[in-house]
């Protein structure tokens, strides 16, 4: 690997923004970034301002909040981490959604909500937040996806809506990375899989014998991957060990 973004601690005079910074992995990322010396802004549905993909205007409001902070502090936005996501729970349409075990369980409401939170929300984040990255110098935008979003790696089937919405996210981020490179050749935009992590999102599935890791460990791995992304890695999909995942 050829580290391109490994800033020494003294050089971390920048702002890090974690969207979904109030979630399981997001909160651990916030703590990890603070320990690395970044000034950190965490945004979620319960922060002020609030970020809620069910209300499109909140994405722009949050981006303006970050822009104001950048202008006020004079700091560059060196890390943008999108740690939002949805696998199960209540949808914006007011129904319960669970990962589908069969095509018989497919329904429009669950599909729409998975796409809203896992793909459309992050796409709007790209629109409003990627322009806030510096026009020169190293910086990273990282979007948390999931290995199950890989089409090439899908041997088990099931989880249609989550898989498909994460595959859509992967394509959106890959496309955004191409455009970002035209603004700043040193800016990296990647998709990351955190591993199976002990959070509310994975909790109902832990009993199936999956090996789950604490969020603190996952965040530490992800930040290490971000710090040592190789040159030419923009637009690619990596796991928490820094290994490439097929699309």
Per CB under 6 A, residues contacting ligand NAP are 20, 22-26, 44-46, 51-54, 83-86, 117, 121, 144, 146, 193-194, 196-197, 199-202
CB-wise, 7 or 168, nearer to ligand NAP? Answer: 168
CB 5 within 8 A of CB 229: yes
Nearest to 192 by CA among 130, 234, 151: 234
* Cα–Cα dist 15/177, whole Å: 20
The strand pairing partners of 120, in sequence order, are none
Q: Which helix (H) or strand (E) holds 43?
A: strand 39-43
The strand pairing partners of 140, in sequence order, are 79, 188
The minimum distance between CB 189 and ligand NAP, in angstroms, equals 16
The minimum distance between CB 211 and ligand NAP, in angstroms, equals 10
Nearest to 234 by CA among 179, 171, 188, 166: 188
CB-wise, 79 or 193, nearer to ligand NAP? Answer: 193
* Cα–Cα dist 192/163, whole Å: 14
* Cα–Cα dist 92/228, whole Å: 38
Q: What is the DSSP letter of 108?
A: H
CB-wise, 98 or 183, nearer to ligand NAP? Answer: 98
The minimum distance between CB 150 and ligand NAP, in angstroms, equals 11
CB 193 within 8 A of CB 146: yes
CB-wise, 202 or 234, nearer to ligand NAP? Answer: 202
CB-wise, 46 or 207, nearer to ligand NAP? Answer: 46
The minimum distance between CB 10 and ligand NAP, in angstroms, equals 30
CB-wise, 7 or 51, nearer to ligand NAP? Answer: 51
The minimum distance between CB 213 and ligand NAP, in angstroms, equals 8
SS3 assignment, position 191: strand
The minimum distance between CB 152 and ligand NAP, in angstroms, equals 17
Tell me the C-alpha to C-alpha distance, in Å, between residue 5 and each of 117, 179, 207, 229.
29, 19, 38, 7
């Amino acid at each position: 690997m050829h580290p391109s973004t490994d800033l020494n601690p003294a050089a971390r005079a920048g702002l890090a923004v974690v969207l979904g910074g109030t979630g399981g992995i997001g909160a651990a990322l916030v703590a990890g970034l603070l320990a690395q010396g970044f000034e950190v802004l965490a945004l979620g549905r319960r922060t002020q301002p609030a970020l809620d993909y069910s209300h499109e205007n909140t994405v722009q409001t949050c981006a303006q909040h970050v822009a104001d902070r950048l202008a006020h502090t004079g700091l560059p936005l060196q890390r943008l981490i999108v740690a939002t996501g949805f696998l199960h729970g209540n949808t914006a349409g007011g129904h319960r959604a669970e990962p589908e075990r069969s095509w018989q369980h497919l329904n429009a409401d669950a599909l729409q909500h998975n796409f809203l939170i896992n793909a459309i929300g992050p796409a709007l984040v790209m629109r409003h937040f990627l322009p806030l990255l510096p026009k020169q110098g190293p910086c990273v935008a990282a979007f948390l996806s999931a290995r199950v979003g890989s089409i090439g790696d899908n041997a088990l089937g099931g989880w249609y809506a989550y898989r498909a919405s994460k595959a859509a996210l992967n394509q959106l981020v890959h496309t955004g990375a191409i455009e970002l490179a035209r603004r700043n050749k040193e800016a990296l935009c990647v998709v990351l899989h955190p591993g199976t992590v002990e959070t509310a999102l994975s909790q109902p599935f832990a009993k199936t014998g999956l090996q789950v890791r604490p969020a603190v460990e996952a965040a530490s791995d992800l930040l290490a991957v971000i710090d040592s992304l190789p040159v030419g890695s923009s637009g690619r999909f990596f796991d928490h060990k820094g290994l490439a995942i097929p699309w």
